[in-house]
Amino acid sequence: MFFASKPGAPVTRTRRLSMAVAAGALLGTTVLSGCSVANSSASNSSGAAGAAAGDTLRVVLQQEPPTLEACESNLTSTGVVVRSTITEPLIERNPTTGDLEPKLATEWTSKDDTKWTLKLREGVKFHDGSDFTAEDAAATIDRAVNSKLGCNVEGYVFGDDDLKLNVVDAGTLEVTAPKADPILPLRLSFLEVVPAETSSTEKVREPIGTGPYKLDKWEAGQSINASAFADYWGEAPAFPKANYQWRSEGSVRAAMITSGEADIATGLSPEDNIGDLGVTFPNNETVALRMHGDTAPFTDIRVRQAVNYAIDKEAIVASLYGGRDKAAAQLVPGGVVGHSESLPVWPYDPEKAKSLVAEAKAAGVDTSAQISLVVRTAQFPKIEELGQVLQEQLTQAGLNVKLKMLETSQHLTYQVRPFPTDDEGAIMLMTQHGNQAGDAAFTVDQYMTTKGAQSAFGTPELDKLIATADAATGADRQSAFEKVFSYQNDNVVQFAHIAHQTGMLGLAKTVNYAPNSSTSDELRLAEVTPAK
Amino acid sequence: MRKRIVSSALPLVVVVVGVFALARMTGSPASLYLPLNATDAMRADFIAKNGLDQPVLVQMFDYFGGLLRLDFGTSLRTGEDAAAMALRAFPATLQLAAMTMVIAIVLAIIVGSAAALKPNGVLDRFASFVSMAAASIPDFWLAIVGIWVFAIYLGWLPTSGVMGAAAWVLPVATLVMRPFGALVQVIRGAMVTSLSEPYIKLARSKGATEYRVVTGHALRNAAAPALTVAGDLTVGLINGAVVVETIFGWPGIGKLMIDSILQRDFAVLQACVLLTALAIFVLNILIDLGYALLDPRVRPAAGARARRKTRAVTIENEPSEPIEPNVPTAASASV
C-alpha cells in the first residue's frame, strides 16, 4: 500500500506496537505491583456494602490508630480502640458518676495516701492463655511509668515521679508514691494491663490484654478485626466479632451509617448529614482563649477582662453550635471533680469592654498593639467561623486582632512552653482542653500554675491555692478547686472561656449504645448491643 | 538513552535532598509525639533518640548512608519500617492510576475521534463541552456528590473502602474525569488536523472505509501527542490522588504522604517521595521508549533533545514538506 511504502516502519506493525506500548506502560505498573493489593484479597467482607451486619459490630473511626500499644492509650486514636475493649485497667472510672470502680483490681486501700495496697481479681486470663497475676500488674506500671519507653501516659498522668512496686503475693500488689498522692488510684486507671513478658524496651504495636475482645488481624491502612475472647472473666459481649475502619471525611463516616455499611461512626458534626441517626453527648472538651500576659495590651488585667466582656458566648453557642454546647465559666465541665456549678458565666457587655480598653489606654497601655489570635485548623467543627466571630467582636471592643490559622504541629509550638516569641505582637491562643481524668488537678496543674507547661502566666497566690487543692481529699478537694477557678476569673484572668462542647456519634438503627463523656476516648464495644 | 537516564535520575536526588531539608525546617516533631506536659528530660530523650539533635547535614549523611544499606529508617508514628509502609501503600495507588488511565484513554479515543469527524458539528460541540467540564470539576465535590447519589440515594455502590469490585467504581470515576477531559481535547485536535491532511483524502479517494481511515491512519498520528499528555497525567495521578484516597479511605501513597507531612514522620515521608520519584523516573523512560516506537525518527540514538523538538509533531508521510507545528491543543490541554 501507498502509506506503508513511505519512509518509516510499516504502518500496521508500528501501530500495533504503539498501542501495545501505551497500554503496557500503564498495565505494567499493575503487573509490577503484584496484582493483589487493595481489592478483594481481604479475608473478611464485613466492611463491604450490603454485607449482613449480623454478628459483626462495625465501627468507623476518624483515623487509623498509629499504634495499639497499651501505654499509649490515652492518645484518643489509640485509646478508642484499646481501652476496656482489648486491654483493661486495674481500676476504672465511671464516666457518668465519676466514681472509681473495680476492674482487674477488686479493692484498694491506703492509710497515708502514699502506700497503696491493691487486691487483684482471680481467674483472669490474658488473650495468650496465661493467668493474670500481681507480677503482670507490677510490670505494667513499671513499664509505663518507670521505664525509658517514653509512654504518653507517663508525662500526662504521672509526670516525673517513679512509683515503687512490691508484689506481696499473686493477688496482692503494693504501690508506693514518692509523696502523698490521694488520687493515685485515679492515675492508675489510665494504665492498661499487659503481661509481664511484654517488652520494656520497645513499644508493641499489637497488645495482648485481658479485655472482652482480642485482636485478630490488623490490616494496615484498611481495617482492624477483633473477636470476643472466649475465656473472658466477665460477661461475654453481645457481638462475637468487631471490625474497625477509618475515614477522615466526616460526611463519608455519616454516609456509611445511613447506607448501612457501619453501625457506629465517631467524631461527627451536624453538618455531616447524619440526620436523626446522630446522638449527642457531653464530650468533656472546653474551648477557651489563653492570653499571654507578657506583651501589651495583655499586660493590663483590664484588657483581659475586656476580652471576656466582648465575647458573646451565648450567641456563639446558639448560632454556630445549634445550642448543643454550653457557655463556659471555667476550664472543666460538669462531672469533673472541682467544677463549680455556681461560678457565673462572664456576662456579655460590649460597652463595658470598650470602656475597659479605653481606661487601659488612658493609663498608658498600648491598646492598639497587634494581637495574634492563634487557631488550629480543623480542630473542631466550625473553628474557622468561630475565629472570625471572635476577631470581629474583639475588634468592636477596640482591640487590634489578627487571625492566625495554623496546622496542628505549628499550633502545638504555641500550646506548650517554651512559647515562641511572636513577632506579630501579643498572643491569644484558642485551646480546646479535654479532661479525661475527671479531676481538676489534671487541668489546673498544667494550665494555671506559674510554671505550668500550658500556662502563659500565673500568680504565687494561685499557685498556693492549687497546691492546697491538689493535696485535699473528698469534699475539701471539691471546694478547694472551686476556689481556684473563681480566683482565676477574679484576679488572674489568663483565660476567656467560651464553651463546653458536645460530641456526636452516628448510631445505626441496628445497635443500641448510650454514649457518655468518655466515649470519644474509650468506646467500650462490650456496652453495645443489637437493637432487637 | 544513557544520557536521558542520567538526566532524569538527577532530579531524583535533588527531590530527595530537598524533601529531607524542607521537612526538617518545619520544626521538631517532639511536640506531636510527646504529651503536652512532657518533662524536659522526656523531650531531650526523644530528640536524641531520633537523632534530631544533630546538624541537618549530619542527619542527611546518616540518611544516605542508611539508603546504601537499604535502611530507610523507622516511622515515628507507628514504629514500623518506613520503606515497608511506603511499599505497602504504593501498589494501591498504582492500581488506581492504571485503571483510571486505561479507562480515560479508551473513552477519550472514542469521544475524541467521533468529535473530530465533523468539526463544529453538534457532536463536536457536545464533546467539547463535556470534556471541558470533566477536566475542571473539583475532585472533592465530585467524590462527595458521587457518594450521595450512588451510595446513599440509589444504594448501588459502597460509600468507600477497598472491599470488592464495586468499591473501585466511585474512586476511579472521580479520577477519570480530568485525564479524560484533557485527552479528548488532545485527540480531537490532533485528529482534526490529520483528517485534513492530503494522505487522508487520498486514502478516501482510494476507497478506504471511514472506520479504516480513522483508526488506521488518523489515529496513529494523534497517538504521539496523546501519549505525551497521558504520561504527564499518569505522573499526576501517581503523585497523589490525595483527595480521592482520603475521602474513599483508599490506602494509597497519596494519603500516606499527607499523613506523614502532617505528623512530621520524616522517614516515611522520605520513603514515599523516593518511591514516587523512582516510579515517575521509570514511567518517563517508558514514555520515551513508547515515543520512539511511535515515531521512527526519534530512535534513542537521536537523543533527548531531538525528541523534545519533534515531540508535538507527527511526521510520517511527507518528510520533505515543511513541518507544521500542528498540535497546539496538546500544549494547551496538558495543563
Chain A partners within 8 Å of B100 (Cβ): none
Asked whether the predicted pLDDT for residue A258 surpasses 70, the reply is yes
Complex-level ipTM: 0.78
Tens-digit pLDDT profile for residues A111-121: 999 999 999 99
pLDDT tens for B28-43 read 788 788 777 677 777 8
Q: pLDDT category, A56, cuts 50, 70, 90?
A: very high
Beta bridge partners of A529: A512
Which stretch, A36-45, A520-529, B284-293, has highest mean pLDDT?
A520-529
pLDDT tens-place string over residues A225-249: 999 999 999 999 999 999 999 998 9
pLDDT at residue B4, rounded to an integer = 74
pLDDT exceeds cutoff 60 at A493 = yes
A297 and A426 in contact (C-beta within 8 Å)? yes
Instruction: Kindly indicate the confidence band of residue A16, based on its pLDDT and cuts at 50, 70 and 90.
Output: very low
Share of chain A above pLDDT 90, in %: 69
Residue among B105, B142, B162 with most chain A CBs within 10 A, to mutate: B162
Residue-level pLDDT at A359: 96
Which residue of chain B has the CA closest to A443? B37
Looking at residues A475-504, what average pLDDT do you find? 96
- pLDDT score for A270: 81
For the ranges A372-386, B41-55, B223-237, the maximum mean pLDDT occurs at A372-386
Bridge partners (DSSP) of residue A510 are none
Which set of grid coordinates corresponds to residue A53?
451486619
Q: How far is CA B88 from CA B66, B83, B275, B283, in A?
A: 20, 8, 11, 20
Residues of A in contact with B161 (CB under 8 A): 47-49, 222, 245, 261
B78·A66 Cβ contact <8 A: yes
How far is it, in rounded angstroms, from Cα B193 to Cα B210?
16
Query: At A17, is the pLDDT very low, low, confident or very high (cuts 50, 70, 90)?
Result: very low
Q: Which residue segments constitute the domains of chain B, with CATH numbers given?
A: 82-300 (1.10.3720.10)
Q: Which amino acid is at B127?
A: A
Q: Cβ contact (<8 Å) for B31 and A409?
A: yes
Check CB contact under 8 Å for B97 and A8.
no
* Distance (Å) from the alpha carbon of A362 to chain B's nearest alpha carbon: 39
For residue B101, the chain A residues in CB contact (below 8 A) are 26
CB contact under 8 A, B78 and A416: no
Pairwise CB contact (< 8 Å): B168 & A39: yes
Q: Choose among A42, A413, A453: nearest Cβ to B163.
A: A42
* Cβ–Cβ gap A18/B206 under 8 Å: no
Average pLDDT (B147-169) is 90
Residues of chain B with C-beta less than 8 angstroms from the C-beta of A39: 95, 162-165, 167-168
Overall average pLDDT of the A94-105 stretch? 90
* % of chain B exceeding 90 in pLDDT: 29
Q: What is the mean pLDDT of chain B?
A: 81
* d(CA B275, nearest CA chain A) in Å: 12
The pTM is what?
0.81
C-beta atoms of A14 and B203 within 8 A: no
| Partner-chain residue, chosen from B96, B157, B319, that has the shortest CB–CB distance to A7 | B319
Test B94 with A454 for CB contact under 8 angstroms: no
pLDDT at B298: 57
Confidence class for position B319, pLDDT limits 50, 70, 90: very low
Give the per-residue pLDDT at B239: 75
Return the bridge partners of A370, or none. Answer: A400
Say whether residue B207 is in contact with chain A using an 8 A CB cutoff. Answer: no
Higher-confidence residue of B129 and B323: namely B129
Residue of chain B nearest A66, judged by CA positions:
B78
What is the predicted pLDDT for the residue at A19? Answer: 37
Phi, psi of A283 (to 5 degrees): -105, 15
The pLDDT value recorded for residue B18 is 87
Average pLDDT, chain A: 87
- A288, A284, A321: which is closest to A432 by C-alpha? A288
* Residues in contact with B196: Cβ distance below 8 Å, sequence separation at least 6, in sequence order: none
How, if at all, do strands A495-507 and A278-291 pair? antiparallel
Amino acid symbol at A232: Y
Look at residue B126 and tell me whether its pLDDT is greater than 60: yes
Measured distance CA(A528)–CA(A513) in Å, rounded: 5
Coil, strand or helix at A282: strand
- Residues in chain B within 8 Å Cβ distance of A45: 163-164
**Are residues A61 and A81 in contact, defined by beta-carbon separation less than 8 angstroms?**
yes
* Closest partner CB to B163 (pick from A45, A203, A256): A45
pLDDT at position B313:
41
Q: Provide mean pLDDT across the span B137-148.
A: 91
Question: Rounded to the nearest 5°, which phi and psi values hold at A82?
Answer: -80, -50
pLDDT band at B49 (very low <50, low <70, confident <90, very high): confident
Count Cβ–Cβ pairs < 8 Å, chain A vs chain B: 238
Nearest to A39 among B32, B165, B297 (CB): B165
pLDDT of residue A524: 95
Q: Do B27 and A34 touch (CB under 8 A)?
A: no
Band (A413; pLDDT cuts 50, 70, 90): confident
Place of cell 519500617: B81
Cβ-nearest to A413 among B27, B91, B217: B27
**Residues of A with CB below 8 A from B78's CB?**
66-67, 205
Q: In chain B, which residues have their Cβ closer than 8 Å to the Cβ of A6?
A: 316-317
C-beta atoms of B98 and A26 within 8 A: yes
B26 in A contact zone (CB under 8 Å) = yes
- The whole-angstrom separation of Cα A407 and Cα A515 is 29
Contacts with A416 from chain B: Cβ below 8 Å: 31, 36-37
Q: Decide if B18 contacts B272 (C-beta within 8 A).
A: no
B190 interfaces chain A, CB cutoff of 8 Å: no
Dist. CA B232–CA B229, nearest whole Å: 5
Tell me what pLDDT residue B304 has.
Answer: 45
Q: How far is B313 from chain A (nearest CA, A)?
A: 15
C-alpha cell read off for A9: 516502519
Closest Cα of chain A to B124: distance in Å?
Answer: 25
Range with the poorest average pLDDT among A156-165, A326-335, B69-78, B250-259: A156-165
**Is pLDDT above 50 for A31?**
no
pLDDT at A422: 67
Q: Do A18 and B290 touch (CB under 8 A)?
A: yes
Whether the per-residue pLDDT at A458 is higher than 90: the answer is yes
Helix axes B82-117, B219-238, angle to 10 degrees: 150
**Per-residue pLDDT averaged across A481-494, rounded?**
97
Render A10-61 in DSSP notation, one character per residue: -HHHHHHHHHHHHHHHHHHHHHHTTS-SSSTT-S--TTSTT---TTEEEEEE
CA B39 – CA A453 distance, rounded (Å): 9
Q: What one-character-per-residue DSSP string does B104-129 give?
A: HHHHHHHHHHHHHHSTTSHHHHHHHH
Q: How high is the pLDDT of residue A44? A: 38
Q: Please report where in the chains the cell 487486691 appears, as a residue.
A: A119
Query: Taking CB atoms and an 8 Å cutoff, what residues of chain A touch B316?
Result: 6, 8, 11
Chain B environment of A419 (Cβ under 8 Å): none
**Are the Cβ atoms of A23 and B102 closer than 8 angstroms?**
yes
Q: Determine the average pLDDT of the residues in B291-304.
A: 60
Q: What is the arithmetic mean of pLDDT over A379-390?
A: 93
∠ CA(B160), CA(B161), CA(B163), 5° rounding?
A: 125
**CB-based contact A39 B164, cutoff 8 Å:** yes
- Is B163–A47 a contact, with Cβ atoms under 8 angstroms apart? yes
Of A253, A321, A330, the C-alpha closest to A498 is A330
Note whether A7 contacts B262, CB cutoff 8 Å: no
Q: Which residues of chain B does A28 touch, with a Cβ-Cβ cutoff of 8 Å?
A: 286
Express each pLDDT in A265-290 by its tens digit: 999 988 888 989 999 998 889 999 99
